[in-house]
Homo-oligomer: A and B are copies of this chain.
Amino acid sequence: MGFSLDLEVIKEVIPDYQIEGSTEKVSITGISSISKAEEGDLSFLANPKYRSDVKDSVASFILLPIDYSDSSPKVNQLFIKTENPSRSLAKICRLIYGELFLKPPAGINPLASVHENTAIEKGVSVGPFSCVGEGARIGKNTYIESHCHIGDNVFIGEDCHLYPNVKLLSNCQIGNGVHLNSGVVIGSEGYGFEQVGTSHEKIPHLGKVIIEDDVEIGANTCVDRARLEETRIGEGTKIDNLVQIGHNVRIGKGCLIVAQVGIAGSVVFEDGVVVGGQAGFAGHLKIGKGAKIAGQAGITKNVEAGAFLKGNPALPVQLAHKISVLQRKLPDLFKRIAQDSVAN
């Protein structure tokens, strides 16, 4: 994998750890699942179904839940016990990430194009073939990779990461700690036309897109600008790849939206809505707090808070399952009814 992480550093990020066993190794040089781990690797028990694999693992370091007692460490093997191995793993991965994916030193790459009238704070890195338009502001330590377009008057917060080829069109606003994957388009023209006779005249879109703090948006996802005011993605919401967010949509805080979902214009999501892949939402709907929408569902009516819907037309998930079961019995039912008719 090409990294080496000092064991001491790891202990620092897991304040509550308990060590079992001993080793002469002082650094972690790989990370892998329990069954695939090799010497030098860190491994972990996050899913209880792999519990019995721990005793056979040759990983040099294993993150385990605090109550694990099924086996003891081998020679030169360390058990690192902690309340939440899964979260500890994520923290360690973050350290390794920094080693594997080196951020270039701060500064404007000589092959970038940055307008003279911009406000770029300390620690910002702008990659080759990226351009930053007039009036743009970029907060400290934000990392902009190659081929990005930062339009006129775009504001970007601190500690953001824009992967190669992110397009932020004019006037859009990005909060702090936002991650935008390659090919993301923020501020594309909304899909709105006025019918005039048999042709369709474009409705110009003057609004913007506002992305709040700690949002992540997946590769090639599009967020259209509002007609007049704003399209908004709420704090902490995580959006996957190839998702379509229409004009004037408002997504609440902490929502999860899986790949290839489509959300038509002016839909409002309250906080904590979870949407499975390829689901679709008709325009102007309100989706209540914490609602869950199954993958491929088609939502054409408002959804109440806490509802869990599935199918198209979407139904409460239990009813949808029941109907699915009964549909499979339709051939039998029709046969029986045909026989009854004959019998009568």
Q: Which residues of A contact B (CB under 8 A)?
A: 1-2, 31-33, 36, 86-87, 90, 93-94, 96-97, 100-102, 111, 113, 127-129, 131, 145-147, 149, 151-153, 163-165, 167, 169-171, 179, 181-183, 185, 188-189, 191, 193-194, 196, 198-206, 214, 216, 218-220, 222, 224, 228-229, 236, 238, 240-242, 244, 246, 254, 256, 258-260, 262, 264, 272, 277-278, 280, 282, 295-296, 298, 300, 311-313, 315, 319, 322-324, 326-331, 333-334, 336-337
Tell me whether A163 and B153 are in contact in the complex, defined as CB-CB below 8 angstroms, given that A113-B129, A189-B218, A260-B244 are known contacts.
no
Please indicate the chain B residues that have their CB under 8 angstroms from the CB of A31 in the complex. 206, 228
Q: How far is the CB of A68 from chain B (nearest CB, A)?
A: 19
Tell me whether A259 and B244 are in contact in the complex, defined as CB-CB below 8 angstroms, given that A32-B229, A188-B218, A194-B87 are known contacts.
yes
* Contact in complex: A204, B94 (CB < 8 Å): yes
Please indicate the chain B residues that have their CB under 8 angstroms from the CB of A151 in the complex. 164
* Contact in complex: A222, B219 (CB < 8 Å): yes
* Contact in complex: B313, A322 (CB < 8 Å): no
Kindly state the separation between the CA atoms of A166 and B204 in the bound complex, as whole angstroms: 20
Please indicate the chain B residues that have their CB under 8 angstroms from the CB of A256 in the complex. 193, 200
* Contact in complex: B171, A181 (CB < 8 Å): no
Given contacts A96-B206, A280-B296, A322-B331, 8 further A-B contacts (CB under 8 A): A90-B203, A93-B228, A165-B185, A181-B185, A193-B238, A258-B264, A295-B300, A323-B327
A94, A198, A295 pick with most chain B CB within 10 angstroms: A295
Tell me whether A185 and B219 are in contact in the complex, defined as CB-CB below 8 angstroms, given that A282-B295, A328-B319 are known contacts.
yes
* Contact in complex: B254, A199 (CB < 8 Å): yes
Kindly state the separation between the CA atoms of A185 and B165 in the bound complex, as whole angstroms: 10
* Contact in complex: B100, A272 (CB < 8 Å): no
Q: How far is the CB of A213 from chain B (nearest CB, A)?
A: 11
Tell me whether A278 and B254 are in contact in the complex, defined as CB-CB below 8 angstroms, given that A193-B238, A240-B191 are known contacts.
no
Q: How far is the CB of A297 from chain B (nearest CB, A)?
A: 9
Please indicate the chain B residues that have their CB under 8 angstroms from the CB of A36 in the complex. 229
- A93's partner among B170, B203, B254, B260 (CB-CB below 8 A) is B203
* Contact in complex: B298, A90 (CB < 8 Å): no
- A277's partner among B111, B185, B262 (CB-CB below 8 A) is B262
A1, A94, A131 pick with most chain B CB within 10 angstroms: A131
Please indicate the chain B residues that have their CB under 8 angstroms from the CB of A33 in the complex. 228-229
* Contact in complex: B93, A204 (CB < 8 Å): yes
- A280's partner among B170, B278, B313, B322 (CB-CB below 8 A) is B278
Kindly state the separation between the CA atoms of A166 and B207 in the bound complex, as whole angstroms: 22
Tell me whether A191 and B242 are in contact in the complex, defined as CB-CB below 8 angstroms, given that A32-B229, A167-B164 are known contacts.
no
Q: Which chain B residue lies CB-closest to A260?
A: B262
